[in-house]
Chains A and B, each alone.
Chain A
């Protein structure tokens, strides 16, 4: 936890008037406001900092306290009393703090620095997006393995202490966002709940790459099978398959297993293709006999 120079955050000097502060805040807010910077985490963080600076400097009492004690925030005892008083305004059950297994990036959900909280107490900040009628939306990120994403399955997420069971349809894409209606924070005054947005992050498997609905893998093939043809066992996402190898298979050539790829999102029973690239391994540490046989072969050719 470090001291935060709120004047620097807003780009103003210590003698700034309320009007200067307001102007500086507005100017920066126009640049970094989350509504104007969709899916931009850096801008969201920056906006949070600007908001916090404005929260302190635009409030005469907070500004005074910050100017007086800000640098010495480490002497927390001095602020203990004030903190107790402020604590009464603490809101119950801060939304968005109960996520598990994924990160929450929604703005207006508290989101004050620990510096701020040590100086003014937890919950001392006005909450920007306080619910007036419709509940707030939640934004979350969920990581799935390629294998998990390849089948329709259920997952239980904990959101604000409540377990929510969601069904994830097979074939979801890396970076895809889904909306779960009504799973956001509750509405007030009879308003509807907010929605829950989940963005999926699906890293490629170590051996299997995905593009759209097609899967790609590279399989090692010994020289003899490549030349004479045969059968090899290949790992797919869901187990092994036996694949025929044509005689005289070239290094780097591909074969396509139609319908053995990734399931197509929300199209049951439809699958992409599985593409195998052969990587032929030249034998090493040849015995004298092998060497002489290869020599014989090389004389035969051409």
Chain B
């Protein structure tokens, strides 16, 4: 499914972030972008993730290294929550059987 993209420059303008901040996201591999260094372009699908990074950075004062460590942990938590939910659904049934 193809979607729209947004240039790094435009993104920085709308979100009031410095270009070098965006560039460091790209360098650290936190966001995937295309195009060349002079005109980076990002898929709109990436926006929610970058918004989250900006929130973590601005609202909580977490630096990029910290964010790099946190994001995979959050993903892991979400996976584990899904698994836990699945197991709980199963457990309900077993509890019923025991009575």
Residues of A at the B interface (CB closer than 8 Å) are: 26, 29-30, 33, 35-36, 38-39, 128-129, 132-134, 137, 173-175, 189, 191-192, 195, 204, 209-212, 216
Residues of B at the A interface (CB closer than 8 Å) are: 3-4, 6, 11, 14-16, 44, 47-48, 51-52, 55-56, 59-62, 70, 74, 77-78, 81-82, 85-86, 88-90, 92-93, 96
B4 CB contact (under 8 Å) in A29, A137, A192, A211: A192
A36 CA to B48 CA in the complex, in Å? 14
- In the assembled complex, which residues on chain A have CB atoms less than 8 Å from the CB atom of B96? 209
Chain B residue, CB-CB nearest to A209: B93
Question: Are B85 and A174 interface neighbours, CB within 8 A?
Answer: yes
The 9 closest A-B pairs by CB, nearest first: A175-B85, A133-B14, A134-B47, A211-B93, A132-B14, A30-B60, A209-B93, A192-B44, A38-B78
A167 CA to B70 CA in the complex, in Å? 35
Q: Given the known A-B contacts A38-B77, A137-B48, are A204 and B61 also in contact in the complex, defined by CB atoms under 8 Å?
A: no
A173 CB contact (under 8 Å) in B3, B55, B89, B92: B89
A132 CA to B88 CA in the complex, in Å? 39
A133 CA to B60 CA in the complex, in Å? 21
A35 CB contact (under 8 Å) in B6, B16, B56, B86: B56
A216 CB contact (under 8 Å) in B11, B62, B89, B93: B93
Question: Are B60 and A134 interface neighbours, CB within 8 A?
Answer: no
- In the assembled complex, which residues on chain A have CB atoms less than 8 Å from the CB atom of B4? 192
Q: Given the known A-B contacts A132-B16, A191-B14, A211-B93, are A36 and B70 also in contact in the complex, defined by CB atoms under 8 Å?
A: yes
- In the assembled complex, which residues on chain A have CB atoms less than 8 Å from the CB atom of B59? 29, 33, 128
Within the complex, the shortest CB–CB distance from B41 to chain A, in Å, comes to: 15
A173 CA to B92 CA in the complex, in Å? 14
Question: Are A175 and B89 interface neighbours, CB within 8 A?
Answer: yes
Question: Are A132 and B61 interface neighbours, CB within 8 A?
Answer: no
15 CB contacts below 8 A, A to B, read A26-B60, A26-B61, A29-B60, A33-B55, A36-B56, A36-B60, A38-B81, A133-B6, A133-B15, A133-B47, A175-B82, A175-B88, A192-B3, A211-B93, A216-B93
B14 CB contact (under 8 Å) in A30, A173, A189, A210: A189
Question: Are B85 and A134 interface neighbours, CB within 8 A?
Answer: no
Chain B residue, CB-CB nearest to A189: B14
- In the assembled complex, which residues on chain B have CB atoms less than 8 Å from the CB atom of A189? 14
A29 CA to B55 CA in the complex, in Å? 11
A171 CA to B93 CA in the complex, in Å? 17
- In the assembled complex, which residues on chain B have CB atoms less than 8 Å from the CB atom of A192? 3-4, 44, 47
Question: Are B52 and A39 interface neighbours, CB within 8 A?
Answer: no
Question: Are A33 and B78 interface neighbours, CB within 8 A?
Answer: no
- In the assembled complex, which residues on chain A have CB atoms less than 8 Å from the CB atom of B16? 132
Question: Are B74 and A211 interface neighbours, CB within 8 A?
Answer: no
A174 CA to B84 CA in the complex, in Å? 12
